[in-house]
Amino acid sequence: MRLHSCGPLPVRFLRASLHWVVITCCRLLFALTCKVKVVLMAPLPKHGALIMASNHISHFDPPIISGYFPRPLDWLAMEELFQAGWSRSFFTWLNCIPVDRTGSDRNALRHAVQRLQEMRAIGIFPEGGIRAGEWSILNGAPMKPGLAALSIHSGTAIVPCALIGSDRLYKISNWFRRTTIYLMIGEPVEPPVRDARKPETRQRFSEELSKAFIGLRDEAVARFGLTPEDLPLTPQARKGNVA
Give dist(CA 160, CA 150) in Å, integer: 14
2 falls within a domain: no
Would you say 64 and 183 are in contact if contact means Cβ atoms under 8 Å apart? Answer: yes
- Geometric angle at alpha carbon 127, from 147 and 104, rounded to 5°: 55
- In this structure, is residue 3 part of a structural domain? no
Note the pTM of the prediction, 2 decimals.
Answer: 0.90
The CATH number for 89's domain is: 3.40.1130
Nearest to 166 by CA among 195, 135, 207, 132: 132
Domain that holds residue 39: 9-240
Burial of 176 (0-12, 13-18, 19+ CB in 10 A): exposed
Q: Does the pLDDT at position 129 exceed 80?
A: yes
The pLDDT assigned to 125 comes to 95
Q: State the Cα–Cα distance between residues 74 and 97, nearest whole angstrom.
A: 7
Whether residue 108 is predicted with pLDDT greater than 50 in this model: the reply is: yes
Residue 1 domain-assigned (yes or no)? no
CA 241 to chain centre: 26
Give the span between the Cα atoms of 3 and 160, in whole angstroms: 30
Does any domain span residue 4?
no
Residue 50 has a pLDDT of: 96
Domain for residue 102, yes or no? Answer: yes
pLDDT at 242: 43
Is residue 74, in this structure, part of any structural domain at all? yes
**Structural domain total, the chain:** 1
Residue 243 has pLDDT above 60, yes or no: no
pLDDT at 103: 62
Residue 131 lies in a domain: yes
Order of strands across the sheet with 158-164?
Answer: 34-40, 179-185, 158-164, 50-54, 121-124, 74-78, 97-99
In this prediction, residue 231 has a pLDDT band, given cuts at 50, 70 and 90, of confident
In a domain, 115, yes or no: yes
